[in-house]
Amino acid sequence: MSNLVEGRTGEWEVVIGLEVHAQVASNAKLFSGAPTAFGADPNANVSLVDAAMPGMLPVINQECVRQAIRTGLGLKAEINLVSVFDRKNYFYADLPQGYQISQYKQPIVGEGVLRLDMPDGTTREIGIERLHLEQDAGKSMHDQHPSKSYIDLNRTGVALMEIVSRPDMRSAAEAAAYVRKLRSILRYLGTCDGNMEEGSLRADVNVSVRRLGAEFGTRTETKNLNSLRFIQQAIDYEVARQIEIIEDGGEIDQETRLFDTSTGTTRAMRSKEDAHDYRYFPDPDLLPLVIPQAEVDELSAALPELPDQIRDRLTGEYGLSAYDAAVITEERETAAYYEAASAGRDRKLVANWMTVELFGALNKSGQTLADCKVTPAALGGLVGLIEDGTISGKIAKDVFAAMFESGKDAAAIVEEQGLKQVSDSGAIEVMIDEVLATNQDKVAEYRGGKDKLFGFFVGQVMKASKGQANPGMVNQLLRAKLDG
Amino acid sequence: MSDLLSLSAVAARAALESGEISAPELTTAYLGAVEETAPLNNYVAVTADRALEMAAASQARIKSGEAGLIEGIPVGVKDLFCTAGVVSTACSRILEGFTPTYESTVTANLWREGGVMLGKLNCDEFAMGSGNETSAFGPAINPWQGGDGVDLVPGGSSGGSAAAVAARAALLATGTDTGGSIRQPAAFCGIVGMKPTYGRCSRWGIVAFASSLDQAGPFSRTVADNALMMQAMAGHDPKDSTSADAPLPDLMAALDKGVKGMKIGVPAEYVMDGMDGEVVALWEQGQAWLRDAGAELVEISLPHTKYALPAYYIIAPAEASSNLARYDGVRYGLRVEADSLDEMYAGTRAAGFGEEVQRRILIGTYVLSAGYYDAYYLKAQKVRRLIKQDFDSAFETVDAILTPATPTAAFPVGRKVDDPVTNYLNDVFTVPANLAGLPGMALPAGLNSDGLPLGLQILGRPFDEASLYSIGRVIEDAAAFSAVPQRRAGGAS
């Protein structure tokens, strides 16, 4: 699959790097004991530290540190046993301290890697440059009053992990796959709930274009995208915009851009020249963060099985395709469902039923796996009926639809509706004889060389059996009668 | 009852325990002294009602045998400390009327140990100054007067604290020391001031100036009182990440240990051009006292001393420029209304911060800016490490270091205020201890020819305040400093 984009003057390669802000799953904020619960009344979750009252001091929440370490381990990244919190200084009404506590030169997590399984079966490795802990800012509301802005500090000081990728992605689809995979790992680890609508996971997207093999082009950064669709839209728009500018003889400005969700376009927010001078320096209220190796080892040992490990088992032991395995393991719940449903069954067949029928039905009905009436055992049972020839794959689809509706077992539905596959050769032969008798002319044509009519006869027999005849046997017996 | 005012805290504690005096009596005497010395402008808020309530409660605890370390002792609090329900402004317009809902850890410790709060004491705005002349409440006045009778500064930034203790308007007082703000005013006012090891006292609830340098400490008229107050205010605080979880030894027990066998360093680099001859003479006298008491005096070298002041005046403003960003008019304190957020910031901060504070914010912003960070801030941090190493290697051979506390005695109010660099030179002997995080004590050792007190400074190893109290007690005894300031409470009678 070529990721190159065709312009007027030739092909362009797209270069994408992402900075993902993931809210750390924790009860309290990064440096204060205030709660992090979403949806509280404005300014309900604000401590003296969050409001930057005079003389207040930050104290690190060790659970947030552990969450960052777990995430680092999940990204196969190096854990820096000594890291430093810095102050990023700027004035804004929803930033009470006048600085954000972040990690600048010495982040808690260093280089790691994230593997993507693309739909075409290829695998891509995306480098992780770093992960650091930082405080979230508050929220300014400019539409509540004609002349004043309202400030909500509930988010102020909530712990974020900023996860920075290498510029290793080459298409919007890869960028989306990267965010999905990252979200998946975070959710497996329990270090971020990954809820993009609530803002728990947001991405800044760095995009540039270049001729294949050329140096990196000038990049733009589009801020604060909170859905996979917006990420892809913003990238597609930026790519088209940049190619057009360059092909018209212009140059790309290194700038920060905003995404307009209503039009799917981006617009300039500030240029490099107007960029803030954040005057980073080590926060003198905090000592360097020192993590004992023993703590890292302990967290590492307690890490849950991650999607890649399960995926490798699914492809290696069960023979699933990399893409199917990746789809099944994206959510821990889905992987667990699959493991339960496929135990003792044809693993590939169950995978197929899950990714096509089950996910399709869930999508169509807007349900999640958690609401689904079809239990893993029930899906396994359905596949079992196919395996032992009780029903055909075609009938199974109807059975599945009924199961999805009622939550009943496949066997019960097959029994109730009399859908059992007919594998009795005598019964099938009777039906074949009837079909051949009522279609003498076609039989003659077939025997005269019109081979294509074979399909017609199969169809007629299946119709006569109401779809319940074993298709393999129908084929075999029909051929014997016609050709014999 | 002026004799109540001349009791030391240790003596007052004994008199309170024996029932010779009562806590309300002592507090009433001090409230009278506060009133009497009001022209010195040492207090910016007097909490008389609270003081009397606390004194009554102290009296009850003394009676029931539950007295704390400083039970019933009247204490003044530098306005840099946040005190619940009592206006706390750091002597800045920008915090005009700000009344915290919370109590700083240090003052909470003092109240827990039975201290009685008299009120809030004048200081330089945000502790930035060496003369208490940058206060939004106007200068605090030193109770000592020179021959010509002009008003002298009490030093700074904890000027009101030192002046009040010297003037008998507080028996003890809190200060903070970022570059000498306890030791220099103690020397100017003829009293004892201790800057403990960085991390010894919690910074929680103290308005921050420069976080890596700020440290709270006690003012008193005697070395023993100082040890007593230190014992009450220090301690580990999990709310301050830089607070040290180090055991605090029995400081009162250290007082009578003497200096026999101790090695005391005398740094060659502390002899400076243009230093007052009387200061040099007193320093030599101090060395002789310690030698006579059995200490070995050793000449040492602290080669990077001359870089301390420039490094300090980069690091402290850098941290301050960031620490003071929170005073933006959005949530508390002064707000100058405007049409846009940026104009509100500019208006509020221009009106709320005084000239010296603005100067340091600008310097700090400059040295942290892209393109200047390496040349200024980073280099200053390197210097800071070298200064720390100087001390580390000196303390391999000596137990403590003796230096003058200040290059001169107290100067007249207004004299140097227009020349910031000369003012900054006041801190030349005190700044290195802040950069290295070491404990330092200033104590009175004599008078100059104008009749003004001069002080000596003792620097110690990290967390070895105890040795400073041993040495301080020896100097105190030898100096037998008994002079009193003219403008003290009860002085006219």
Q: What is the DSSP string of A418-444?
A: T---B--HHHHHHHHHHHHHHTHHHHH
Chain B, 23 to 52: residues with Cβ < 8 Å from chain A are none
On chain B, the residues whose CB falls within 8 A of the CB of A60 are 241
CB of B271 within 8 Å of a chain A CB? The answer is no
Are B341 and A89 a contacting pair at CB < 8 A? no
The answer on pLDDT for B1 being more than 50 is no
* Cβ contacts of A286 within 8 Å, gap of 6 or more: A58, A60, A85, A101, B241, B242
Which region among A31-40, A443-452, B72-81 has the lowest average model confidence (pLDDT)?
A443-452
Query: B67-108: per-residue pLDDT in tens?
Result: 999 999 999 999 999 999 999 999 999 999 999 999 999 999
Mean pLDDT of B409-429: 80
Mean pLDDT of A87-113: 97
Are B212 and A87 a contacting pair at CB < 8 A? no
Q: Kindly report the pTM of this predicted structure.
A: 0.91
Assign B404 a pLDDT band (cuts: 50, 70, 90).
very high
On chain A, the residues whose CB falls within 8 A of the CB of B242 are 284-287
Q: How far is A290 from chain B (nearest CA, A)?
A: 13
The answer on pLDDT for A1 being more than 50 is no
Are B238 and A59 a contacting pair at CB < 8 A? yes
Question: SS3 of A244, please?
Answer: helix
Tokens of B484: 């009193």
Higher pLDDT among residues A478 and A85, named by residue: A85
Query: B142-191: per-residue pLDDT in tens?
Result: 999 988 889 999 999 999 999 999 999 999 999 999 999 999 999 999 99
Give me the pLDDT at residue B418, please.
66
In whole angstroms, give the CA distance from residue B356 to residue B132.
Answer: 11
The answer on pLDDT for B395 being more than 60 is yes
Contact call for residues A470 and A478 (beta carbons, < 8 A): no
Closest partner residue to A59 (CB to CB) among B98, B239, B377 is B239
Give me the pLDDT at residue A417, please.
83
Give me the pLDDT at residue B175, please.
98
Residues of B with active-site annotation: 78, 157, 181
In whole angstroms, give the CA distance from residue A135 to residue A276.
Answer: 18
Exposed/middle/buried for B368, CB within 10 Å: 0-12, 13-18, 19+? buried
Mean pLDDT of A233-248: 97
DSSP letter for each residue of B168-185: TS-SEEEEE-SSSTTHHH
Contact call for residues A118 and A180 (beta carbons, < 8 A): no
Chain B, 180 to 239: residues with Cβ < 8 Å from chain A are 203-208, 210-212, 238-239
Give me the pLDDT at residue B65, please.
97
CB of B385 within 8 Å of a chain A CB? The answer is no
Query: B44-54: per-residue pLDDT in tens?
Result: 999 999 999 99
Identify the residue among A285, A287, A289, A290 best suited for mutation to test binding to B, counting B beta carbons within 10 A and taking the highest.
Answer: A285
The answer on pLDDT for B471 being more than 50 is yes
* Cβ contacts of B400 within 8 Å, gap of 6 or more: B262, B264, B265, B458, B459, B460, B461, B464, B467, B468, B471
Closest partner residue to A57 (CB to CB) among B81, B240, B328 is B240
Identify the residue among B323, B343, B357, B377 best suited for mutation to test binding to A, counting A beta carbons within 10 A and taking the highest.
Answer: B323
- Name which of A23, A475, A12, A70 is nearest A291 in CA terms: A70
Closest partner residue to B204 (CB to CB) among A57, A60, A97 is A57
Tokens of B68: 């704390």
Write the CA distances from A302 to A289, A334, B351, integer angstroms.
Answer: 22, 21, 56
Mean pLDDT of A433-462: 89
Fold exhibited by the domain B1-493 = Amidase signature (AS) enzymes (3.90.1300)
Assign B491 a pLDDT band (cuts: 50, 70, 90).
confident
Percent composition of chain B: helix, strand, coil (DSSP 3-state, to 5):
45, 15, 45
Give the pairing type, strands A112-117 and A99-102: unpaired
On chain A, the residues whose CB falls within 8 A of the CB of B368 are 89, 279-281
Identify the residue among B368, B372, B376, B434 best suited for mutation to test binding to A, counting A beta carbons within 10 A and taking the highest.
Answer: B368
Closest partner residue to A98 (CB to CB) among B81, B203, B322 is B322
Are B345 and A91 a contacting pair at CB < 8 A? yes
Domain ranges of chain B: 1-493
Give me the pLDDT at residue A128, please.
98
Q: Please name the residue ranges forming H helices in B329-479.
A: 341-352, 355-367, 379-397, 420-424, 431-436, 465-479
What single letter denotes the amino acid at residue A320?
Answer: L
Count CA within 13 A, CB hemisphere, residue B187. 34
Query: B249-297: per-residue pLDDT in tens?
Result: 999 999 999 999 999 999 999 988 778 899 999 999 999 999 999 999 9
The answer on pLDDT for A67 being more than 70 is yes
Closest partner residue to B322 (CB to CB) among A57, A59, A99 is A99
Contact call for residues B90 and B126 (beta carbons, < 8 A): yes
CB of A216 within 8 Å of a chain B CB? The answer is no
